[in-house]
Homo-oligomer: A and B are copies of this chain.
Amino acid sequence: MKKKAISPDKGNRLINDGCTILVTAQLGEKSNIITLAWQTPVSSSPPMAAISVAPSRYSHQLIATSGEFVINVPPLSLLKAVVYCGSVSGRDEDKFQGAGLTAESAAVVSVPLIAECIGHLECQVSQRISAGDHTLFVGQVVAASAAEDLFEEVWQVEDERAKTIHHLGGSFFAAPDKIVHL
């Protein structure tokens, strides 16, 4: 899938619809993928996004130590991989291999992107906040990219390949239908 660079200032739009994401992290030779529904943009200028990660998760350790992570936006066709990456631990399994996903070099950070995802936000951790039983990692978006045909100002969710995944809870998900313009 051909990708194009997006201005980091517009990058927040890749996750503005509240989609479930695959976060990649890397520390030395070890990389990992974690599925997260708990994400939000938090700042326009500089562009920043926050993710909420439980301290027990392997990716928590990688992100806290390396200070970097990538938000990857999976399309609906990757739902099985999304559920898999949210169900097993990277301590036990190589999730790239287990999910059949391909690691690809990022533009700025040392963390791999997931080639099969349709959008990417490369983030450097600027704040780490303990909130209840999770940690909020606030990251500055230093690079962004998206599938050339599927992001035009916003996600073209009427195209089957651009349908983002939304986690309703438990094993229930939904995807967007039509674009409503108001």
Listed in ascending order, the chain A residues whose CB lies under 8 Å from chain B are 13, 16-20, 37-48, 50, 52, 76, 79-80, 83, 126-127, 129, 131-134, 136, 138, 140, 153-155, 157, 166-182
Contacts and interface: CB of A to CB of B under 8 A. Distances in A.
Nearest to A14: B169
Given A38-B40, A133-B43, A153 B176 contact: no
A83 to B, nearest CB: 5
A175 B180 contact: yes
Given A171-B181, A176-B166, A42 B132 contact: yes
Most chain B beta-carbon neighbours within 10 Å: one of A46, A140, A172: A172
Most chain B beta-carbon neighbours within 10 Å: one of A45, A46, A166, A181: A166
A173 B177 contact: no
A174 B167 contact: no
Contacts of A47: 132
Rank and list the top 8 A-B pairs by shortest CB-CB distance, nearest first.
A18-B18, A43-B132, A174-B176, A177-B177, A154-B168, A13-B169, A17-B166, A40-B40
A54 B150 CA distance: 30
Contacts of A13: 168-169
A79 B169 contact: no
Contacts of A167: 16-17
B157 A17 contact: no
21 contacts: A16-B38, A16-B169, A17-B174, A18-B20, A41-B52, A43-B133, A44-B132, A44-B133, A45-B132, A47-B132, A79-B180, A80-B182, A129-B129, A131-B138, A132-B140, A136-B138, A153-B169, A153-B172, A166-B166, A171-B182, A173-B182
